[in-house]
Amino acid sequence: MVEWRQLKPLEWCKYVNKKVKVTAHEKHQFDGWVFTVDPVSASIVLVTFQEKGGTATVRVVTGHAVQEVEILQEGNEETARRLRDTFMPLGGQVLSLEELRCRKESLRMWLEKNRIPVEEEGETLRVANVLTVSAPYGAENCSSSNEIILARVQNLMEGNPGLTLQQPSNS
């Protein structure tokens, strides 16, 4: 049997979008869907989807530790979409101008409701004159030199109930 690290990238491709069982060093075993295999280190990125809810767990099994990879199940288009969605940030999705306007307004109202001063400056929201939020108005779109305020506002933004209702579908 050929050692995992000796395989070529095209040979690793046959594992992508498939459910596998990886046996690693000291007989540790990991199950999951293969998102990718790093061509330099031969490390495997495994994703495990929770039964209920949209959350996923990501594990990287380093290439040097891999002893055996067994394919358990073939993937389909739905699996490929779920894997892509796990790693595709909201900013990578295409939002209409109306969706962006709604997200900005929802965030502005949420911050004001929590007594945080916010002003609109074109497409940007300026929070307390020390932080800016740009489209698509998620916590990852904040910018500030004050790390304490940045962390607090991002925490507050993640609790915005209006934002979760407006998550766009990936179409």
Res 164: pLDDT: 55
Q: Which two tokens stand for residue 81?
A: 């979409």
The answer to whether 56 and 49 are in contact (CB under 8 A) is yes
Of 46, 54, 162, 62, the C-alpha closest to 114 is 162
Res 1: pLDDT: 60
Phi, psi of 4 (to 5 degrees): -50, -45
**Pairwise CA distance, residues 105 & 111, whole Å:** 10
135-to-90, 92, 140, 141 alpha-carbon distances in Å: 10, 11, 10, 7
99 Cβ neighbours under 8 A, 6+ residues apart = 136, 166, 168
Res 54: pLDDT: 64
Among 3.40.50.2300, 3.30.70.1350, 2.30.30.100, 1.10.260.40, what is the CATH number of 4-88?
2.30.30.100
Helix axes 97-113, 147-158, angle to 10 degrees: 110
Of 128, 133, 75, 132, the C-alpha closest to 100 is 133
pLDDT (tens, 9 = 90+) of the chain, 171 residues, equals 679 999 998 899 899 999 999 999 889 999 999 999 999 999 999 999 887 666 789 999 999 999 999 999 999 888 888 888 787 755 556 778 888 899 999 999 999 999 999 999 988 999 999 999 998 898 888 999 889 999 999 999 988 887 654 444 443
- Which residues on neighbouring strands pair with residue 119, listed in sequence order? 126
Radius of gyration of the chain (CA): 21
What residue segments make up the domains of the chain, in order of their start? Answer: 4-88, 92-164
For the stretch 137-144, contacts whose Cβ atoms lie closer than 8 Å and that sit 24 or more positions apart, written own/partner, are 137/100, 137/103, 137/104, 137/106, 137/107, 137/163, 138/90, 138/91, 138/163, 140/89, 140/90, 140/91, 141/91
Res 171: pLDDT: 39
pTM for the model stands at: 0.53
Look up residue 63 and give its amino acid. G
